[in-house]
Amino acid sequence: MDLNATQRLKPWKSFSNSRVWWWRFVGGALAMIAIAFAGSLWTLYMLSATSGGAALREKLGINNINGINIQSTRTDKIIVEESSAVIEANKKVGPAVVSILSTAQGPINPFTGQASTQQSSGTGFIITTDGLIATNKHVVKGGQSFTVTTAEGKTFDGKVVATDPTNDLALMKVDARGLPVADLGDSDRVEVGQYVIAIGNALGEFQNTVTLGVISAENRTVSAGDGSGNSEMLDGLLQTDAAINPGNSGGPLLNLAGQVIGMNTAVTGNAQGIGFALPINDLKRDLESYNKTGKILQSYIGARVQSITKAIAKSAKLPVDQGAYVVSVVTGSPAANAGIKAEDIITQVNKDKITETSPLPRTIHRYSPGEKVTLTILRDGKEMTLEVTLGELGR
């Protein structure tokens, strides 16, 4: 019986040891599964939520984890952030944007004996709380009366108080107090490719229209016409693909921080997405002059020049491929008094080199009227310097 009992017990004893081993095996397996699951969660987190994960996903070609499209999620976030910036910029500057209706008396109708009324529309933006408004000179040119309408729908009579003699800029005044103003930025810090926002009175009927684009290029030179045969050469312009339409002229071009970095001025009619804006630093210089003197003063030398490009230098067989070729000199002007002659090539003003992107007129405007500058010129292949006392243009 002892043997039988032992034999009976052996199976039971053997079964007990197997049971312990079995639970140890199950426990170990469960622990390994838990560790693997935790590792999977950590890997998912690393792939979806970290900057290093982005590089790893790209390397592994993984853009979808457990049904979550990581790439589109990050893209959606960027789009939301950009949209929020545009919305906030518009809220910040939009209230300071105004529409300007210019009215003038047209020619008398020979049949009725009555004069026709001509109207045109543009845009401006308020720069002081007491009603000083910046706009394009061509917006107010020829106008006899002006109606300024704010974003809130209030209307005021506007009066032109100053115009830039050499640039497409003008200042207008309305009799008001406590107006919202636009924050002026720094156009020298603008970079090609950055997002910009244009606001304006599109087509003269869609007030405060907002469009979005990028800075396509800097330092553009264009011949801007008004459709009636009049044109002027504008340089140093910002090129943008933000939609600019008739009526947008004089409106602000903003960065995403809601700062005005340009004034919408011209558009290429036979192309799409090619608009131009005056750098806001041009306006800031005019404001400085206006605040000091009550008018916009510009320096000048009194010489008609042609900017030299590589193509012009090659065709005309000039000794240099940049600078300003003097076409003619105004009698009695600062240039004439300094001894500058036609066919001279001005290569430098003080230490500022004259180039295609820094033409002579723009370089001269950096200095104040009455200031003396030294011009480096080439005459008959010889380099020489002449001192010029800058003249004054203004009204």
Active site residues: 138, 168, 249
Strand (E) or helix (H) holding 222: strand 206-225
Contact predicate 266/225, CB 8 Å:
no
Task: Kindly state the tokens that stand for 109.
Answer: 């109708």
Distance CA 168, CA 301 (A): 19
Task: Kindly state the tokens that stand for 370.
Answer: 């009455």
User: Distances from the Cα of 280 to the Cαs of 139, 244, 328, 376, in angstroms?
Assistant: 17, 17, 31, 29
- Nearest CA-CA partner of 324 in 309, 335, 334: 309
CA dihedral 253, 256, 260, 266 (to 10 degrees): -10
User: Distances from the Cα of 48 to the Cαs of 45, 88, 389, in angstroms?
Assistant: 5, 29, 66
- Nearby residues of 160 by Cβ (< 8 Å), 6 or more positions away: 140, 143, 146, 170, 171, 172
- Nearby residues of 250 by Cβ (< 8 Å), 6 or more positions away: 100, 122, 123, 124, 125, 134, 135, 136, 139, 200, 263, 264, 265
